[in-house]
């Protein structure tokens, strides 16, 4: 019964949080942090896409940042070449990236685990090299749209309704919310069930009549589409794109933060994006080198793998609930006499959980 009430409340909580993200945060924060939050919105989509692959289907991809770069490239090219509305460009970038991402993911139909991770990493490296030699469009002509100009480069346009930074941030959040709904629509229905079966055991999935090749391709297509759309949002956010913004190793860090955030939930994708984009912005503002994060993420992944496989998105609410119960018990207890025996075990549980958080 309590669970049902919690489930019924969930959409309301999400709506409130979304409204706060759309209207509360831009009012409270400086432009510096609003830009960082736009990046959080972009990378939460990428993290959600990687969550579909790694968490739902069990395909570990180390090439997601390269897929993002492809999406950004395609969107930038189309934005310079056409006057189509921004949402149309986003869908087109998503679809073209979907094709590219499925090609990169083809080894996934045969491989899993370490070998798949290695191959996607190599392919990501190859894409980075190609994009570096092709260059990102800067308003030039021809296939690449790059003219070698170093000055007077026109910025990549934004939608007319969202040209300012706070407005574009809101725009990004709305696009991210739509992509999250797209993921949700998949994992709650037939493909989600098929993916859960494939992740646990391919023989069991086959024995249930699931065309595992089709559903893996489907997951790759969905993840690439979302990452392509994210690339399109990124293009407008930064105005100028360079291949140096998409180093291959960032895919590895992305996987680390996605594991930390929680690979099974969409909240985890948001947590991952905050770790990946907001934390560095915060440290930079405080004058601390963001390189320390590499160490922090290393420890974080270790902690997740050993104690909290569902990530921070799962662990923190549990720890908070435990802490709440403990505080409640401490305040309600009239005299610290007999039931003291029960308390130490509870305390140790919380301190263990607190360490996990």
Partner 1 sequence: MIEVSGLTVRYGGVTSLDDMSLTFQVGTCGLIGPNGAGKTTFFNVLSGFVRPAAGTVRAFGDDLLAMAHFRRARWGVRRTFQTEQAISELSVFDNVAMVHEHSRLGGSSRRKDVLDAISFVGLDADPDVQVRTLGAGQRRLVEVARAVVGRPKLVLLDEPAAGLPDEETSHLGDVIRRIPEHTQALTILVDHDMSLVSACCETTAVLDFGKLIASGPTAAVLRNDDVIRAYLGVA
Greatest Cα pair distance, the chain, in angstroms, is 82
Quick one: tokens of 301?
A: 């992944």
List alpha helices for 201-275, DSSP H.
202-207, 212-238, 250-261, 266-273
CB of 201 to partner 1, least distance (A): 5
DSSP for 299-351, written as a single string: HHHHHHHHH-TT-HHHHHHHHHHHHHHHHHHHHH-S-SSGGGGHHHHHHHHHH
Confirm if 283 and 246 have CB atoms less than 8 A apart: no
- Residues near partner 1, by CB under 8 A: 190, 193-194, 196-197, 199-201, 203-204, 206-212
Tell me which residue of 45, 293, 246, 233 sits closest to 136, measured CA to CA.
246
In this complex, which beta carbon is closest to partner 1, that of residue 163 or of residue 211?
A: 211
235 vs 229: CA distance, rounded Å: 10
Tell me which residue of 56, 110, 84, 2 sits closest to 226, measured CA to CA.
56
CB of 268 to partner 1, least distance (A): 15
CB of 266 to partner 1, least distance (A): 15
In this complex, which beta carbon is closest to partner 1, that of residue 41 or of residue 187?
A: 187
In this complex, which beta carbon is closest to partner 1, that of residue 126 or of residue 196?
A: 196
In this complex, which beta carbon is closest to partner 1, that of residue 104 or of residue 198?
A: 198
Q: Report the 10 Å Cβ neighbour count for 325.
A: 13
In this complex, which beta carbon is closest to partner 1, that of residue 108 or of residue 187?
A: 187
CB of 195 to partner 1, least distance (A): 9
**Residue whose pair of structure tokens reads 């960082």 in the numeric block:** 36
**Residue whose pair of structure tokens reads 């493909």 in the numeric block:** 191
**Residue whose pair of structure tokens reads 């933060």 in the numeric block:** 257
CB of 185 to partner 1, least distance (A): 16
CB of 220 to partner 1, least distance (A): 18
175 vs 346: CA distance, rounded Å: 43
CB of 19 to partner 1, least distance (A): 31
CB of 187 to partner 1, least distance (A): 10
In this complex, which beta carbon is closest to partner 1, that of residue 141 or of residue 188?
A: 188
C-alpha pair distances (Å), 133 with each of 127, 130, 243, 275: 10, 5, 9, 31
Sign of CA dihedral 301, 305, 307, 311: positive
């Amino acid at each position: 019964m309590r669970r049902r009430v919690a489930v019924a409340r969930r959409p309301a909580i999400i709506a409130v949080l979304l409204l706060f993200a759309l209207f509360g945060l831009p009012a409270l924060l400086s432009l510096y942090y609003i830009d960082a939050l736009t990046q959080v919105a972009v990378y939460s989509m990428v993290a959600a896409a990687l969550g579909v692959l790694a968490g739902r289907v069990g395909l570990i991809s180390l090439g997601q940042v390269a897929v993002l770069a492809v999406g950004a490239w395609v969107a930038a090219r189309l934005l310079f070449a056409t006057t189509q509305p921004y949402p149309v460009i986003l869908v087109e970038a998503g679809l073209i990236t979907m094709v590219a991402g499925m090609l990169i993911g083809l080894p996934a139909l045969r491989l899993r685990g370490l070998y798949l991770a290695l191959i996607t990493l190599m392919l990501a490296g190859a894409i980075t090299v190609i994009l570096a030699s092709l260059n990102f469009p800067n308003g030039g002509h021809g296939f690449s749209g790059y003219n070698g100009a170093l000055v007077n480069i026109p910025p990549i346009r934004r939608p007319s309704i969202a040209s300012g930074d706070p407005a574009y941030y809101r725009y990004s959040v709305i696009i991210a919310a739509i992509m999250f709904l797209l993921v949700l629509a998949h994992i709650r229905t037939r493909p989600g069930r098929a993916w859960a079966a494939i992740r646990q055991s391919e023989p069991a999935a086959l024995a249930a009549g699931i065309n595992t090749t089709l559903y893996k391709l489907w997951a790759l297509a969905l993840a690439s589409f979302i990452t392509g759309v994210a690339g399109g949002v990124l293009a407008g956010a930064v105005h100028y794109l360079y291949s140096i913004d998409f180093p291959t190793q960032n895919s590895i860090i992305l996987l680390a933060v996605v594991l930390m955030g929680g690979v099974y939930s969409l909240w985890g994708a948001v947590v991952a994006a905050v770790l990946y984009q907001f934390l560095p912005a915060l440290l930079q503002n405080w004058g601390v080198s963001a390189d320390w994060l590499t160490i922090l993420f290393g420890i974080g992944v270790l902690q997740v793998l050993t104690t909290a496989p569902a990530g921070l998105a799962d662990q923190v609410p549990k720890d908070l609930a435990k802490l709440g119960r403990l505080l409640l018990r401490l305040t309600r207890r009239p005299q610290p006499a007999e039931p003291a025996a029960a308390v130490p075990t509870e305390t140790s549980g919380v301190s263990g959980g607190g360490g996990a958080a």
